[in-house]
Amino acid sequence: MGENTWPGGYRHAMTQSEHEAWNACNYPGTLQLCSERDDPTGRCEEDSIYADDDGEIGHLCEECWETMKTTEDGETTQGEES
Ligand SMILES: [Zn+2]
């Protein structure tokens, strides 16, 4: 069809803002670090994860998040997997 076909299913070139967002997530040196262990969360501002709804505990890597969210209030979320 003459359109560019990108690996991974991308079918359009990234716009400038999309490219900046991608860089923010992926560019070395701007990796978001876990607030607990200083390990890379693998996430960025747009999909940061926090242990609480107010965003005061985080950003966390998924490992710390799993730990902290289940110890908050002494309750677990087991059995509520979706
Ligand atoms: Zn962590």
Same structural domain, 19 and 49: no
Report the distance separating Cα 70 and Cα 13, nearest Å: 40
pTM of the model: 0.52
The percentage of the chain sitting over the pLDDT mark of 90, rounded to a whole number, equals 22
Would you say how long the chain is, in residues? Answer: 82
Q: Which pLDDT score is estimated for 51?
A: 92
CA of 77 relative to ligand 1 center, distance in Å = 19
Same structural domain, 36 and 25: no
Distance from the Cα of residue 67 to its chain's centroid: 16
pLDDT digits (tens, 9 = 90+) for 3-43: 555 556 556 677 888 888 777 666 656 688 999 998 889 89
Q: Which pLDDT score is estimated for 31?
A: 81
Report the distance separating Cα 16 and Cα 74, nearest Å: 45
Distances (CA, A) of 12 to 7, 46, 49, 59: 11, 21, 28, 31
Same structural domain, 23 and 45: no
Statement: residue 52 has pLDDT above 80: yes
Same structural domain, 68 and 40: yes
Q: Which pLDDT score is estimated for 23?
A: 72
Give how many domains the chain has, as a whole number. 2
Asked if residue 81 is part of any domain, the answer here is no
Same structural domain, 39 and 18: no
Asked if residue 80 is part of any domain, the answer here is no
Q: Which pLDDT score is estimated for 17?
A: 87
CA neighbor of 53 nearest in space, from 37, 72, 35, 75: 72
Same structural domain, 70 and 43: yes
CA of 67 relative to ligand 1 center, distance in Å = 9
CA of 23 relative to ligand 1 center, distance in Å = 22
CA of 11 relative to ligand 1 center, distance in Å = 34
CA of 68 relative to ligand 1 center, distance in Å = 10
Q: Which domain holds residue 64?
A: 32-74
